[in-house]
Amino acid sequence: MLQDLEFGYLDNQYHPAQPQDGDIVICVQGKNMLMHRAEDDTLSLPTWGQVKHWCGDWDQWFEEPTQYAFTMQEQRYFLFMGKAGQCPDGWFTYENATALRPQTSRNIYFAMMTAWHLYTWYRVNRFCGACGEKTVHDGKERMMRCTSCGNMIFPRIAPAVIIGLTHGDKLMLSTYAGRDTKRYGLLAGFIEIGETAEEAVAREVMEEVGLKVKNIRYYKSQPWGVAGNLSIGYFCDLDGDDTVHLDENELSSAEWFPRNEIPYEDEGISLTGEMIRIFQEGKEPK
């Protein structure tokens, strides 16, 4: 999966730091991110030295124009916290990072997704949600603190379940309603306040396809920064009748596929892809 980095892990412990010329800086414009994309889809991100003279107005949204994000493979990443500008020579352009094909640049892509998650969190927490006053960054940990009421705002992650629903030698695959892509996926949904992840699995299956489940078992989790999620993967077995009652607001299809007839190829990016592949291979937890 995407976060299974070739070199180990991403060090996301917070440090108050200022960027040096060789540090990467993430510049965001609307929903797009500044990058250079080669013809083979290899991605590269700008360094502070490359962009500091033109990357944009730092308009006092934050205390500092940049915010330390994390370190990956001994490379430090910062977020540019102002209104990002245009690259004068056009080498770097703004692109919708979520629409890219990241296979050739998995590490960079994972860094971009994680930086995006952090950036959006900082961006929406410039002011206190309790009293409306300005927030400032804590000196020791990644937390915004209200200058007036002391409200502490920690990074927010939305947990969601990905569900490998099995029925003997068959797996349920679904397609979303209202999306251009007809790519197959697994049933999925956010965990609601007050329920366990396992309860969310049973509820989502009932809501989306009207089926009961049993033998819910954990598989793996995956940070999915582009949506601010932590995806938590479970397999479970059908309990009883297998007749699908589709929630047509959520899904355009949900069907049982025999193990050797699953029309899917894992791209090595998502937890969904890995769960479908290990079912194809007969290696899912029983």
CB of 188 to Zn ion, least distance (A): 35
CB of 130 to Zn ion, least distance (A): 5
Gap between the Cα atoms of 279 and 286, Å rounded:
10
- Residue 244 near residue 235, CB atoms below 8 Å: no
CB of 120 to Zn ion, least distance (A): 20
Structural tokens at position 209: 């396809």
CB of 182 to Zn ion, least distance (A): 46
Gap between the Cα atoms of 168 and 200, Å rounded:
22
CB of 154 to Zn ion, least distance (A): 15
Q: Which is nearer to Zn ion, 127 or 256 (CB)?
A: 127
Q: What Cα–Cα distance (Å) separates residue 5 from each residue in 8, 83, 106, 280, 284?
A: 5, 31, 8, 24, 22
Q: Which is nearer to Zn ion, 149 or 177 (CB)?
A: 149
Smallest Cα–Cα separation from 27: which of 138, 135, 115, 121? Answer: 115
Q: Which is nearer to Zn ion, 32 or 151 (CB)?
A: 151
Q: Which is nearer to Zn ion, 38 or 130 (CB)?
A: 130
Gap between the Cα atoms of 32 and 139, Å rounded:
29
CB of 133 to Zn ion, least distance (A): 5
Smallest Cα–Cα separation from 52: which of 94, 23, 74, 91? Answer: 23
Q: Which is nearer to Zn ion, 38 or 136 (CB)?
A: 136
Q: Which is nearer to Zn ion, 59 or 133 (CB)?
A: 133
Q: Which is nearer to Zn ion, 146 or 276 (CB)?
A: 146
CB of 125 to Zn ion, least distance (A): 11
Q: What Cα–Cα distance (Å) separates residue 279 from each residue in 32, 50, 136, 261, 272?
A: 35, 46, 47, 11, 11
* Residues 131-163: b if buried by 16+ CB within 10 A, e if exposed: eeeebebeeeebebebeeeebebebeeeebbbb
> Measured in whole angstroms, how far is the alpha carbon of residue 71 from the centre of its chain?
18
Gap between the Cα atoms of 213 and 239, Å rounded:
5
Residues at the site binding Zn ion, with contacts judged by CB under 5 A: 128, 130-131, 133, 146, 148-149, 151
